């Protein structure tokens, strides 16, 4: 998924590079290491990039994400076993579903998007930092179902996001392709020749995520820039996704957490009761036990900034910030935090230890911002 958390990015190393790396350098991007990839964190002002997406349009290089095509006569049956959400809900070609992929103990291996393309072909988009682990896990589980798993290494992936994003990208397409793209509903995608375009994103704004041949990516990026679409890096992507209340794998969830304590209960399909997805037994046990911890939103009125790993003090016990940043849209510090369930009531007040000083924060229900508008009371 995906810089509010200072420890997420490291200065440039000789890591993996996307097909757009040379273009990022030419555009003056500051390159950092992110999960083994050399990626742009910003092209100048991270705040300006953030506001461009909220107010106009921005483009991100997300080619480090993994694109996996799963094919076979039993691929739907396999995915109903592999994922906590139920692909039986996908009945229209192109429709997408967000889901977690769990271990047997219900720990989250990854969160991903799955697209139904036809009865023998589904496409998964997985996180960059987990793609090798995911690929090994999926291939091991796919064997008994005779499902083939192919990683698409020759594709670039661009996310064009913001209130003007769809119209700007469509203006670059042939009329028939533009009409098809603009007709897409949220969480729906379709092939357009060698391209695949989906109305998805990680910013809380409308837009497209586009998979295309790597050789065509730089030209498209430049054409988008010419139309006023801002080049954006990982820094703005992180503040945007946190404002949108979207989890970041490795920060807000990982193999030691499960969907019920990560604000993702809505992504688990417990019905029908006879669907034996991986991790179901452990997850049902956790649901029956109740209590535990919950992921909540926090809003700070003081000038301090909440960051990951800071202690959250509540009357029911301590918790911790999982992601925190200064929200450019709200001009406040916001955070996601895992706290005791008894302290998770919206409207409650907790205290956050920011560099040795305790500040009061209000518990709110994410998202903080959606489509450029505040979704919480300031």
Distance of alpha carbon 296 from alpha carbon 376, whole angstroms: 13
| Residue 10: per-residue pLDDT | 55
Of the chain, the percentage scoring pLDDT greater than 70 comes to: 96
pTM of the model: 0.95
Q: Is a pLDDT exceeding 90 seen at residue 35?
A: no
Residue from 362, 355, 300, 347 nearest 327 by CA:
300
| Residue 182: per-residue pLDDT | 98
| 151-202 pLDDT, tens digit each | 999 999 999 999 999 999 999 999 999 999 999 999 999 999 999 999 999 9
Asked if residue 367 has a cis previous peptide bond (ω within 30° of 0), the answer is yes
Q: By three-state DSSP, how is residue 286 classified?
A: helix
Residue 154: exposed, middle, or buried by beta-carbon count in 10 A (0-12, 13-18, 19+)?
A: exposed
Tokens of residue 59, six digits: 């483009």
Report which DSSP code applies to 331.
T
| Residue 371: per-residue pLDDT | 96
Residue 323: exposed, middle, or buried by beta-carbon count in 10 A (0-12, 13-18, 19+)?
A: buried
Mean pLDDT of 299-314: 96
Q: Is a pLDDT exceeding 70 seen at residue 329?
A: yes
| 106-151 pLDDT, tens digit each | 999 999 999 999 999 999 999 999 999 999 999 999 999 999 999 9
| 214-273 pLDDT, tens digit each | 999 999 999 999 999 999 999 999 999 999 999 999 999 999 999 999 999 999 999 999
| Residue 290: per-residue pLDDT | 86
Distance of alpha carbon 70 from alpha carbon 123, whole angstroms: 6
Distance of alpha carbon 367 from alpha carbon 242, whole angstroms: 8
Band of residue 296 on the pLDDT scale cut at 50, 70, 90: very high
| Residue 141: per-residue pLDDT | 98
Residue 262 Ramachandran class (φ > 0 left, ψ -120 to 50 alpha, else beta): alpha
| CATH number for the domain formed by residue range(s) 66-151 | 3.30.70.1400
| Residue 9: per-residue pLDDT | 54
Beta-carbon neighbour count of residue 290 at 10 Å? 8
| Residue 15: per-residue pLDDT | 83
Both ends of the chain: CA-CA distance in Å? 28
| 234-248 pLDDT, tens digit each | 999 999 999 999 999
Report domain 10-62+154-243's class.
Answer: alpha beta
Superfamily of the domain at 291-374:
Aminomethyltransferase beta-barrel domains (2.40.30.110)
Q: Which of 5-9, 44-48, 292-296, 337-341 has the lowest mean pLDDT?
A: 5-9
| Residue 7: per-residue pLDDT | 43
Domain ranges of the chain: 10-62+154-243, 66-151, 291-374
Q: Is a pLDDT exceeding 90 seen at residue 207?
A: yes
Residue 256: exposed, middle, or buried by beta-carbon count in 10 A (0-12, 13-18, 19+)?
A: exposed
CA angle 345, 265, 64 (to 5 degrees): 115
| 343-377 pLDDT, tens digit each | 999 999 999 999 999 999 999 999 999 999 999 99
Distance of alpha carbon 161 from alpha carbon 202, whole angstroms: 9
Residue from 138, 151, 66, 71 nearest 101 by CA:
138
Residue from 20, 114, 111, 8 nearest 60 by CA:
20
CA angle 231, 53, 324 (to 5 degrees): 100
Mean pLDDT of 332-353: 97
| Residue 223: per-residue pLDDT | 98
Mean pLDDT of 295-314: 97
């Amino acid at each position: 998924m995906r810089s509010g958390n200072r420890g997420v990015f490291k200065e440039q190393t000789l890591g993996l590079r996307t097909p757009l790396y040379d273009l990022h350098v030419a555009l003056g991007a500051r390159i950092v290491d992110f999960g083994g990839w050399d990626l742009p964190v910003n092209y100048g002002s991270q705040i300006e990039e953030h506001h461009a997406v909220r107010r106009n349009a921005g483009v991100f290089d997300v080619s480090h994400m993994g694109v996996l095509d799963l094919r076979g006569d039993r691929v739907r049956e396999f995915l109903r076993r592999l994922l906590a959400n139920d692909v039986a809900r996908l009945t229209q070609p192109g429709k997408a579903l967000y889901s977690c992929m769990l271990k047997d103990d219900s720990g989250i291996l990854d969160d991903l998007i799955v697209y139904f393309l036809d009865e023998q072909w589904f496409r998964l988009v997985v996180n960059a930092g987990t793609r090798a682990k995911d690929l090994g896990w999926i291939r091991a589980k796919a064997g008994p179902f005779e499902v083939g798993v192919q990683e698409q290494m020759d594709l670039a992936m661009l996310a064009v996001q913001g209130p003007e994003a769809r119209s700007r990208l469509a203006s670059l397409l042939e009329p028939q392709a533009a009409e098809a793209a603009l007709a897409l509903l949220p969480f729906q995608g379709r092939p357009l020749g060698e391209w695949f375009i989906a109305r998805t994103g990680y910013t809380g704004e409308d837009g497209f995520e586009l998979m295309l041949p790597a050789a065509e990516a730089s030209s498209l990026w430049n054409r988008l820039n010419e139309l006023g679409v801002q080049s954006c890096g990982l820094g703005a992507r992180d503040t945007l996704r946190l404002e949108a209340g979207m989890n970041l794998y490795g920060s807000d969830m990982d193999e030691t957490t499960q969907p019920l304590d990560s604000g993702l209960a809505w992504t688990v399909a417990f019905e029908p009761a006879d669907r034996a997805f991986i991790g179901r037994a452990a997850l049902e046990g956790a649901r029956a036990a109740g209590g535990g911890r919950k992921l909540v939103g926090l809003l700070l009125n003081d000038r301090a900034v909440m960051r990951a790993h800071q202690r959250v003090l509540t009357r029911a016990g301590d918790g911790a910030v999982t992601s925190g940043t200064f929200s450019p849209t709200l001009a406040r510090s916001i955070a996601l935090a895992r706290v005791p369930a008894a302290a998770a009531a919206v409207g409650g007040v907790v205290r956050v230890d920011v560099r040795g000083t305790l500040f009061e924060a209000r518990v709110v229900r994410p998202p903080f911002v959606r489509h450029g508008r505040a979704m919480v009371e300031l």
